[in-house]
Amino acid sequence: MGEFIHVYYVYILSSDSKRLYIGVTSKLEKRVRQHKEEFFPDRFTARYNIKRLVYYERFGHIEAAIAREKQLKRWSRIKKVQLIVRTNPEWRDLSEEWGKPTEPFSGELRPPTTF
């Protein structure tokens, strides 16, 4: 019997004014949706309209994810912004395409010419 693999995420959300929130979860899509829908209306992210997923990392162990979350929370704002900009310079919402239908592939498939 194969071992079930768990995946944990450390994520950074941003408001339009670049106010940041860092969290950890095992269900990234669900958790981001909760932030967007203000599932917890009295919490920090709802109060400051922090809904754009701008960065995330994946981990195989919850302990590693929690350690990384704590590390990122201790970083200066400048260092956090540099981390985001390195992988997402436009600060686009990485979750904006989730759940949307995809276009079927309509290109021509050709075998590789070299190996």
Q: Domain holding 45: CATH number?
A: 3.40.1440.10
> Which residue did the predictor score with more confidence, 41 or 106?
41
Residue 26 maps to a domain: yes
Average pLDDT over the chain reads 90
**13-22, 37-46, 66-75: which has the minimum mean pLDDT?**
37-46
Domain that holds residue 77: 8-87
Write down the pLDDT at residue 94: 95
- If one counts the domains in the chain, the total is 1
What type of residue sits at position 89? Answer: P
Summarised one tens digit per residue, pLDDT across range 53-84 is 999 999 999 999 999 999 999 999 999 999 99
